[in-house]
Amino acid sequence: MTELRVEKIRKSHGSNAVLHGVDLTVPSGAIVALLGASGCGKTTLLRLIAGFEAADAGTITLGTRQLEAPGVHIPAEQRRIGYVPQEGTLFPHLSVADNVAFGLTRAERREGRAAEAIRLTGLGGLEQRFPHQISGGQQQRTALARALAPGPGLILLDEPFNALELGLRRSVCADVAALLRASGATAILVTHDPDEAFASADLVAVMRRGLVVQYAAPTALYRHPVDAEVARLTGDAILLDGVADDGHARTPLGAVTLQPDAPSGRVQVMLRPEQIVLAPAGQGVPAHTLASTFRGDHALVTVAIGDIQLDVRLSAFDEVAETLQLRVNGPGMAFASA
């Protein structure tokens, strides 16, 4: 297991500055997700770590090996880093076994590296099949097995589940995360899907405009986003204008308890939709139901409170009446208003 340290990394493509001094430490054995919108720099950062491109400035260190520094650029093939691209890019004319063994030295083949990677990824019995003869999920497992076979110090996954349909994508993502943990690998997953990041990663680095703006465990990131933009990126968010004082804010939903160290004065209070729940008569804020859509495990209800409209997420077993009483469950996150 090997720690990765990225320090003050900068990269431009022509006159377009992509990375502006990125810092990131990936602990040994951890899975870290790079989460961000298209164009934020996450794939460029992954390519620099892999060695496909050279950085303009900064350092990258894997364990005790310096891979990138002023005057230093270790080529990709010498970095001992596994890489799983978006489409898996299996060789169509090679069997599963031959795809996994591709790139291994004779000594590594004699050691049974390919067979061990196939066993670890649950591909036993499929060794002689070709990519077109296995499912999309099995193809991604094959790509992961190929990356794991040489015993790299780090595995990089560049949005590897994009080509899969949603249901399969969720299950394959969970399987891959479990396989990475079973192997003890240190890994970085690039994604724009917060559900994927939260389900698979120990830590999530949110990138925006070429910088890491927040780096935290999934629960901390969801509950304590650093600003409203991160709140929206990491899940559905309700933002209410309010006035804060002494750890509470006055909002259209009544008084809301705030997270510690909240600012005072005019604020935006961030709540997650599931924090707004039904209250007994006379113990909440009256709301008028405008629309309701049943989603199976919850109901998405659009309500009007005074002159504002909110989308709230109620339990599938709540009765959605024309008039509701609502209250806030748990503390809100406050951001100072401009």
pLDDT digits 0-9 by tens, 294-330 = 988 888 999 999 889 999 898 888 888 899 999 999 9
What is each CA distance from 126 to 109, 135, 212, 290, in whole angstroms? Answer: 18, 11, 40, 54
Q: So what's the pLDDT on residue 88?
A: 60
Q: So what's the pLDDT on residue 112?
A: 83
Please report which residue ranges of 112-223 form alpha helices under DSSP H: 113-120, 136-148, 166-183, 194-200, 218-223
What is each CA distance from 10 to 42, 48, 154, 200, 307, in whole angstroms? Answer: 12, 10, 21, 27, 47
Could you tell me which of 247, 314, 243 has the C-alpha nearest to residue 276?
Answer: 314
Distance CA 286, CA 280 (A): 11
Largest CA-CA distance found in the chain, in angstroms, rounded: 76
Query: What are the structural domains of the chain?
Result: 4-228 (3.40.50.300), 238-336 (2.40.50.140)
Q: What is the per-residue pLDDT across 151-200, written as a single tens digit (0 to 9) for each?
A: 888 999 888 777 677 777 777 788 778 878 888 889 999 998 999 899 89
Is the CB of residue 65 less than 8 Å from the CB of residue 2? no
Q: DSSP state, 332?
A: B
